[in-house]
Chains A and B, each alone.
Chain A
Amino acid sequence: MYDGIVQELIDELGRLPGVGPKSAQRIAFHILQTESFDVSRLAQVLTDVREKVKFCEICGNVGEESRCGICRDARRDPSSICVVEEAKDVVAIERTREFRGLYHVLGGSISPMDGVGPDDLRIRQLLTRLSDGTVTEVIIATDPNMEGEATATYITRLLASIEVKVSRLAFGLPVGGDLEYADEVTLGRAFEGRRTV
């Protein structure tokens, strides 16, 4: 245990996800000992991020205004919506530069064991967005794990009664991997989704 404020700093840093006591101690001493480290800049950014960053009222993505940059961009195609679990998934898909439509961030995935059901996600808001007929395709890009699959299944079932094309991101082998290490489910899905070349 350190005295007073040093220990307070270590404790506060230790509350961050993925930061254990040793890492917290290392970061705290870096802040204390490195003269070039601009503490006031870090403090200002932390304060700003809490005050300025909002969740987009349309898609649930993060931004500094009531509507995020993607929803405000008139060049984006409003007829297709890509449904993702988290705002960080929007960034991952944007990096591909393959998709020019809009997004819908659910805020997680259905996980009954963690007490998260469909009503805890932004599924109702998705249905509201689809009600005016502008959207013709919904691309479900939830994580390729059990919860993500179940969430996709649930949304697909909900959208069955609406006249909209529903697609799911393809499953397959990761580029750079070895076929012999592929698990049965991934390899099976890769066969299902094979395409003519």
Chain B
Amino acid sequence: MPTYRDEGIILRTFNLGEADRIVTILTRSHGKVRAVAKGVRRTASKFGSRLEPFMVTDVQFYQGRSSLDTIQQAETLGPYGADIAGHYDRFTAASVMAETAERLTDAEKATNQYTLLLGALRSLSRGEHAPHLTLDSYLMRAFSLAGWSPSLDTCSRCGSPEDLTAFVVHFGGMVCATCAPPGSARVGSDTVEIFEALLTGQWDFLESVDRRHLARVSSLISAHTQWHLERALKSLEHVAR
């Protein structure tokens, strides 16, 4: 029988018919999978909360003739969703993460994106850091893994390491004073430090940074992500910061 089993993170769900749902799952070994969960909306469903967004689940799929697989069994590995939904700022941050992961992955195996999202959701559910910091760090790392890391130590136009004064999204990161177009966002070396801290997870440093400065970096990260994804992330405007 054409079945396969994999662990995955539930990214989002769509209602289907009377009581079914289409579930989008980022799996460890099969990339992004869309599958039907039959009867999941009924209160007596055997799936219960296992197929809710942000849950990490061990799933058995049945590969039928249709383009969508069917979920046969599911067991919870990490019930992160419950702790995330109980805090509104965690929920909005996790929504952006899930939407980003959905856009950055396809049916190809993407274990590094899977592991990154898993770690970010786990951290978010445990409340290890402020949700907006976890989110910004996740976005920086997810885009780096996808090959869209912003250039931070050299000019993204001429390659010069000197006099980096502005962050220009469509050039791909920092630019020097000579290359910076008029009206571009001027940033200092302290902003670059924050970018690097988010990439490498220097939480103690990040938690000591002024909130307004962090908000400015967040807006640059948002612009960077939206530029590369070519379409706005719907959830980003609802982030509780």
Contact = CB atoms under 8 A, between A and B. Distances in A.
Is chain B found bound to chain A in the same assembly? Answer: yes
Interface of A: 18, 110-115, 117, 144-146, 149-150, 153-154, 157, 174, 176-177, 181-186, 188
B158 interface: no
Contacts of B84: 146
Given A112-B95, A113-B98, A115-B234, A149 B44 contact: no
A145 B52 contact: yes
Contacts of A184: 49, 76, 79
A53 B176 CA distance: 63
B114 interface: no
Contacts of A114: 234
B85 A113 contact: no
A192 to B, nearest CB: 11
Interface in B81-115: 81-82, 84-88, 91-92, 95-96, 98-99
A186 B52 CA distance: 12
Secondary structure call for the B interface: helix
A144 B50 CA distance: 12
A139 to B, nearest CB: 18
Given A153-B85, A185-B81, A113 B46 contact: no
B53 A146 contact: yes
Given A149-B85, A157-B88, A112 B234 contact: yes
Interface residues of B, number: 33
Contacts of B88: 150, 153-154, 157
Interface string B119-146: 0000000000000000000000000000
Contact of A185 (B48, B53, B237): B48
Contacts of A186: 48-49
Nearest to B50: A183
Contact of B85 (A146, A157, A183): A146
Nearest to B98: A113
A161 to B, nearest CB: 15
A177 B87 contact: no
Contacts of B237: 115, 117
Contact of B95 (A113, A176, A183): A113
Contacts of A176: 44
Contacts of A146: 52-54, 81, 84-85, 91
A167 to B, nearest CB: 16
Given A18-B17, A153-B85, A177-B44, A113 B12 contact: yes
Nearest to B234: A115
Contact of B235 (A113, A177, A185): A113
A182 B76 CA distance: 11
Best-surrounded residue of A117, A146, A150, A186 (most CB of chain B within 10 A)? A146
B62 to A, nearest CB: 19
A51 to B, nearest CB: 28
Nearest to A176: B44
A183 B12 contact: no
A112 B86 contact: no
B47 interface: yes
Interface string B225-241: 00000000011011100
Given A112-B234, A185-B82, A150 B49 contact: no
B18 interface: yes
Given A115-B234, A174-B43, A184-B79, A153 B52 contact: no
A111 B95 CA distance: 8
Contacts of B235: 112-113, 115
Given A113-B99, A149-B82, A185-B79, 13 more contacts: A18-B18, A111-B95, A146-B52, A146-B81, A146-B84, A149-B86, A150-B85, A182-B48, A183-B76, A184-B79, A186-B48, A188-B79, A188-B82
